[in-house]
Amino acid sequence: MSDLLFGLDTFGDVPQDDAGKLVSHAAAIRQVVDEAVLADQLGVDVIALGEHHRPEYSVSTPETVLAGIATRTSRIRLASGVTVLSSDDPVRVFQRFATVDALSNGRAEVILGRGSFTESFPLFGYDLRDYDTLFEEKIELFVKLLDEKPVTWSGTLRAPLENADVFPKTESGHLDTWVGVGGSPQSVVRTAQYGLPLMLAIIGGAPERFAPYIDLYRRAADQLGTTAHPVGMHSPGFIADTDEQAKEIYWPHYRIMRDRIGKLRGWPPIRRQEFDSEVENGSLYIGSPETVARRMARAIRSLGVGRFDLIYSAGAQPASARMRAVELYGSKVIPMVRELLA
């Protein structure tokens, strides 16, 4: 499976330094750049940066950080993961990623999504009551922009465009664009409708339960007469030299992050037993390179995906441990998975 792609995802979680103190947001952004440079050197295919507007994350404008990474790397693809299109302007999103594409000699890609938090809506003056309409209208406009020709478009929540030309153009005439979906059948069908690649966020439970979404995507594309691209998946994980070390580094910070989110969404506090079960049988890929490679290969084989992105940070794991996780992913896990799937 030489065409299988492997990526790394991060939201720029603010890490601890070696003394156990949280670093600044500025230092956290520089840390992400260093991790991307290491991933590039090790042959990782993609680095994807997620957009958040919360104190525990440092990346609020993925394309700005990606532009910095572009100048220090030579081959790794530079993606968002995701760009919250609903609370942004499609024209500006296209312009920013076309700029990253220029700086990186054609390595930019955007993954569009609704986002897992809603802070960006009031921050940028959008009404959450328009949540669905905002995404539906803006993705319609963004797909038109991908033709890189003058656009005429009108909707209900943005000013219309009349024969508007948008610059800069990409050098290739094509900006790679995915849609990130967390489990909504309607979103899967919409992705197929526009003929865009699908990235599934599989962040809990057995990965096999997402097989119906992949089947739905392919059936919808066939019925709509569009292209069903190889599907991608992204899931959280962490790699250290041993299984026990990986779990003990990851768990305390993951618990804090998970309970913080849970409080917002009415979830009960997570128990260590639930965590261990998710590591053993669910969608947390945590352990030694051998353990993580074996579980990744099983998920890739069962779902038939063409790309696997590992979300390698979840909370304030020490910066040095994160760098080691990136190193092990690129140098050991990816070659092992390829061998297991050969």
Q: pLDDT tens across 98-116, in order? A: 999 999 999 999 999 998 7
Question: CA 166, 62, 241: angle at the middle one, nearest 5?
Answer: 145
Amino acid at 5: L
| pLDDT at position 2 over 90 | no
For residue 285, give Cα distances in angstroms to 105, 153, 201. 32, 43, 14
pLDDT tops 80 at residue 1: no
> Global pTM?
0.96
Amino acid at 37: V
Report whether 185 contacts 216 (CB < 8 A).
yes
- Residue 279's domain comprises 5-341
240-297 pLDDT per residue, tens: 999 999 999 999 999 999 999 989 889 999 999 999 999 999 999 999 999 999 999 9
What pLDDT is stored for residue 183 in this prediction? 83
Question: What is the pLDDT averaged over residues 128-141?
Answer: 97
Across the chain, mean pLDDT equals: 97
30-76 confidence digits (pLDDT tens): 999 999 999 999 999 999 999 999 999 999 999 999 999 999 999 99
pLDDT computed for residue 264 by the predictor = 86
Q: How many domains does the structure of the chain reveal?
A: 1
Cα 27 to its chain centre, rounded Å, is 21
Judge contact between 8 and 329, C-beta under 8 A.
yes
Do 6 and 45 contact (CB within 8 A), yes or no? yes
pLDDT per residue as tens digits for the range 295-341 = 999 999 999 999 999 999 999 999 999 999 999 999 999 999 999 99
Question: What average pLDDT does this structure show over 151-180?
Answer: 98
Please, which pLDDT band fits residue 219 given cuts at 50, 70 and 90?
very high
Task: Tell me the CATH number at 97.
Answer: 3.20.20.30
Percent of the chain with pLDDT over 90: 96
